[in-house]
Structure 1
Amino acid sequence: MTTAPQVRRHTDRAVTVLTLDSPHNRNALSAALIAELTDALDAADGDPGVRAVLLTHTGTTFCSGADLRADGVHRGPALLVGLMSRIATLSKPVVARADGHVRAGGLGLLAACDIAVAGSAATFAFTEVRLGLAASVASLPVLVRADPRAAARYLLTGETFDTAEAVRIGLVTAWDEALEGILAGLRAASPQGLAASKELTAAALRETIASQAEHLQQQSARLFASAEAAEGVRAAMERRDPPWAL
């Protein structure tokens, strides 16, 4: 039996559009989805006719984070680091468009993209802290892109916030009404100019991943191995509050 693709792709006037299409798990970052997405990014990077990549989604969720049911609790951090690193090192800009929920590791994916836009249906939350975890590797691009004081609030509280707040704190570049102008600008830019400009704009993220990813993967592994996190993840899967929730 042929498995349906979880990442759909087409090219529209020099922009490769990659659509996350795994509604059964809210576009969670499973090993299979990440492999498909990485292959699609590689193909776009190697195509001289492609100027940029647009990453979007089907359904009401852009990305719900790691797929704990499919991959367990140990593979997710390394898989996410690899994906974020590939986006940061791609020679072509990646634009994310979210018009649905963005949670946990999905925020790392969104923040790793060079430009991000979001619609009125988008909501954002770092849910890890409520599970006995931390947004360890997802924080790598988030703390590069977003205002650190605002990021601290949402990483520590797990509060849900909207697109207006995501734009205000720099996690999202603009409302999605700006998307056509952004794509027009990318189509008007020279391939060489785009590659050189991305070298400048993604440098801080590449350096952060190189220097901190291993430490944060180790932190994530320690947390996932704890009894507190096991209870938090179990409570989430059973759709109930963990015992520490007041």
Structure 2
Amino acid sequence: MPLVRSQTAHGVATVTLDSPSNRNALSTALIEELLAALAAAAEDDAVRVVVLTHTGPVFCSGADLKETAAAFGSGRPPINRLGEVLTAIWEGPKPVVARLTGPARAGGLGLIAAADLAVCSLDATFAFSEVRIGVIPAVISTTVLPRLSPRAAGELFLTGATFDGARARDIGLVTAAVPAGEVDEAVASFVAALVRGAPGALRGTKALLRRQKADTFRDEVAAMTTLSVEYFGSAEGIEGITAFRDKRPPNWIPDGLS
């Protein structure tokens, strides 16, 4: 049975963690299937947005500790490949929206932080539980620390305390926290906005949000001016401006949304 399912409709690839029997833990097998699903979505021109969601009551419980214990000493625990998943989400060309209606722990929070947008239910719970089992949140810090305030990161990394959806929103881990019955509506609203963006512009904007700035302000302005001119002169830029002038939808809008 697959541990990750993927389906595409109306420009949206929905990638579902489907291993509820072990709380969608990040086993080697699940990681491999997730990487394959993300790669397929990245390569599919019909896909404009990826929604990362789950079956069962838990979004993701973190690393598969049973497999990790069995792999001790082999050099091949599942954590070895978690960085590949975070990179695929963080650097992938398509916007990723994380959707969760249940708990997330440890490595699962790395997935959420890697996503461009994240929507959770207010009653979802979170914890950086690593210190409580004698390890540290090293790999996931690459995506989590850019999201969280330093004080929140220090508190939650060091204590391993559990916090709710409202706190996750307030510290920047998620974009929105809503009542459980409104999660799908909130996700759909974000997706509807994202698919109206030009594919190349979405890819470029995602890279812009993650780039390292130039050493000086003047160099940064010069680099951004060059980039802006490039996009204004691109085929998408010309089409978008022309469509705006002609009061029509641009040609990248999926059927049914115009």
Query: In which range does the TM-score fall when normalised by the shorter chain?
Result: 0.7 to 0.9
Structure number, greater radius of gyration: 2
Task: Using the TM superposition, give the Cα deviation of residue 9 of structure 1 relative to its aligned residue in structure 2, in angstroms.
Answer: 1.0
Moved more, 145-154 or 169-178: 169-178
The TM-score with structure 2 as length reference comes to 0.75
Inter-CA distance 97–192: structure 2 relative to 1 (3 Å threshold): same
Match of 1:99 in 2: 101
Which deviates more from structure 2 when the two are superposed, residues 144-153 or residues 163-172? 144-153
Length, aligned pairs only: 201
Q: Alignment partner for residue 51 of structure 1, among 43, 48, 52? A: 48
Root mean square deviation of aligned Cα: 1.3
The structure, 1 or 2, with the larger RCO (C-alpha pairs under 8 Å, 6+ apart) is 1
Assess if the C-alpha contact under 8 Å between 1:8 and 1:21 holds in 2.
yes
Opposite residue 196 of structure 2, the aligned amino acid is A
CA distance in 2, matches of 1:27, 1:189: 32
Q: 2: CA distance between counterparts of 1:109 and 1:64?
A: 11
How far the C-alpha of 1:120 sits from its partner, in A, is: 2.5
User: 2:201 — aligned with what?
Assistant: 193
Distance 2:145 2:18 in 1: 28
Alignment of 1:142 with 2:139, yes or no, is: no
SS at match of 2:93: coil
2:60 aligned partner: 63
Of 13, 24, 28, the match for 1:27: 24
Q: Distance in 2 between matches of 1:95 and 1:83?
A: 15
Matches for 1:79-90 after TM superposition, within 5 Å: 79-90=81-92
TM-score normalised to structure 1 length: 0.78
Structure 1 regions of 5+ residues with no counterpart? Answer: 205-246
State the percentage of identical aligned residues.
51
Q: Which amino acid in the other structure matches residue 173 of structure 1?
A: T
Find the aligned partners of 1:24 and 1:178 in 2 and give their Cα distance.
27
